[in-house]
């Protein structure tokens, strides 16, 4: 494999001049041309690692998220990777399984690699472990007052779900949520928006809430729905704080023989699809995935180029209702 010395020899310039040219330092036009000709002739590939060492920062961005295995996370991963690519960064993908130990390992790795920055979706109490030696932007969860956070408008999404159900004729509303410390920022706000809207409209609502991890949550939810919907549909409008819970509930309602949306209407949250080409089956509050990707990369670049104090600490992005087949038209 040709080296920088080979290029210098063929171009008839010093190794330092080749190095300058490759690292973007101005060299004489004539030298530029000779060096480029030699690089092409030799099929020389510059060593990014050496270049990064000199600049003391790589163009890697670490992206930490719980998993890629939900439609929302899979779409977000793709959009962020493409956005980073547009801006000449590369994504180091890190799935954490929601485990803070894995998250901390990735952050340590990010420091060792001297990455340009970290984007993270973490529901752990990571804030207290973070120092300001690597720029970091959080998605959804405020990790600390000094770390910029980009999020969907979860509260407005909850309000919108209640509004849609009422406008579509539902009279008895049910909300399905899971409130743990980890879900306070997203599910908590979605539920609060829904409840506040109902109270504002003086409409009755019932809350199913569970403080448990999903291992226990799902069996609980199943029992509740089986008992509640055994014979009739006491609640004709359901808002589930995630598409996944809505999907789970839909299966049970169908098993019990209830017609969705005729007897009971159902709205989820996320607006993810199994395949991009698919039509929406679940009616849902859709998160603006592409905008989240754009905004978190923008915040990261601001951290890299501006003074930290100039960077917007909270970016809240508008959501929208998407009509699927689980609500009336």
Give, as one character, the DSSP assignment of residue 131.
-
Here's the x/- map for its own copies, 120-159, by CB under 8 A: it reads as -------------x--------------------------
Q: Which of 5, 23, 68, 206 binds its own copies (CB under 8 A)?
A: 68
Is residue 251 part of the contact set for its own copies (CB under 8 A)? yes
Binding window for its own copies (CB under 8 A); candidates: 39-47, 168-176, 219-227, 310-318: 39-47
In the numeric block, the tokens 């929302």 are attached to: 72
Cβ proximity to its own copies: between 251 and 262 the closer is 251
Is residue 247 a contact partner of residue 218, using CB atoms and an 8 Å limit? Answer: no
CB of 276 to its own copies, least distance (A): 5
Nearest one of 151, 218, 205, 219 to 174, comparing CA atoms:
205
Q: Which of 60, 123, 155, 235 binds its own copies (CB under 8 A)?
A: 60
Is residue 29 part of the contact set for its own copies (CB under 8 A)? no
Residues numbered 179 to 198 that lie near its own copies (CB under 8 A) are none
Query: What is the SS3 assignment for 117?
Result: strand
Here's the x/- map for its own copies, 214-243, by CB under 8 A: it reads as x---x-------------------------
Query: What is the SS3 assignment for 63?
Result: strand
Residues 6+ apart with CB under 8 A from 239: 158, 161, 162, 165, 173, 174, 175, 176, 194, 267, 269
- Quote the distance between the C-alpha of residue 55 and its chain's center: 29
Give, as one character, the DSSP assignment of residue 185.
I
Residues 6+ apart with CB under 8 A from 180: 211, 212, 213
Here's the x/- map for its own copies, 76-105, by CB under 8 A: it reads as -xx--xx-------xxxxxx----------
Residues facing residue 95 across a β-bridge: 65
Cβ proximity to its own copies: between 72 and 194 the closer is 72
Q: How many other CB atoms sit within 10 Å of the CB of residue 238?
A: 30
Residues that bind its own copies (CB under 8 A): 1, 45-50, 52-53, 58, 60, 63, 67-71, 73-75, 77-78, 81-82, 90-95, 108-109, 111-114, 133, 214, 218, 244, 247-248, 251, 272, 274-279
């Amino acid at each position: 494999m040709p080296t920088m010395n080979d290029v210098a020899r063929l171009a008839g310039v010093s190794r330092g001049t080749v190095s300058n040219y490759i690292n973007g330092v101005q060299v004489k036009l004539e030298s530029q041309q000779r060096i480029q000709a030699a690089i092409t002739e030799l099929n020389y590939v510059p060593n990014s690692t050496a270049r990064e060492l000199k600049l003391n920062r790589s163009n890697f961005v670490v992206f930490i998220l719980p998993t890629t295995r939900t439609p929302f996370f899979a779409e977000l991963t793709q959009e962020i990777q493409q956005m980073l690519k547009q801006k000449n960064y590369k994504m180091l993908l890190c799935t954490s399984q929601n485990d803070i130990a894995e998250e901390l390992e990735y952050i340590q790795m990010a420091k060792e690699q001297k990455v340009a920055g970290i984007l993270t979706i973490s529901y752990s109490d990571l804030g207290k472990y973070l120092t300001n030696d690597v720029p970091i932007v959080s998605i959804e969860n405020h990790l600390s007052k000094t770390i910029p956070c980009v999020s969907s408008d979860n509260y407005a999404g909850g309000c919108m779900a209640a509004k849609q159900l009422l406008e579509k004729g539902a009279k008895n509303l049910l909300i399905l949520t899971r409130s743990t410390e980890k879900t306070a920022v997203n599910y908590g706000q979605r539920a609060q928006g829904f409840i506040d809207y109902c109270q504002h409209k003086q409409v009755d609502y019932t809350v199913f809430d569970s403080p448990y991890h999903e291992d226990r949550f799902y069996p609980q939810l199943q029992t509740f729905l089986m008992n509640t919907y055994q014979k009739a549909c006491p609640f004709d409008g359901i808002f589930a704080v995630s598409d996944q819970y809505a999907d789970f509930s839909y299966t049970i309602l169908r098993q019990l023989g209830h017609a969705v949306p005729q007897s009971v209407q159902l709205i989820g949250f996320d607006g993810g699809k199994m395949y991009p080409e698919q039509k929406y089956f679940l009616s849902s509050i859709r998160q603006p995935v592409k905008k989240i990707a754009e905004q978190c990369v923008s915040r990261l670049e601001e951290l890299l180029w501006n003074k930290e104090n100039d960077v917007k600490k909270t970016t809240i992005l508008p959501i929208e209702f998407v009509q699927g087949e689980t609500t009336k038209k």
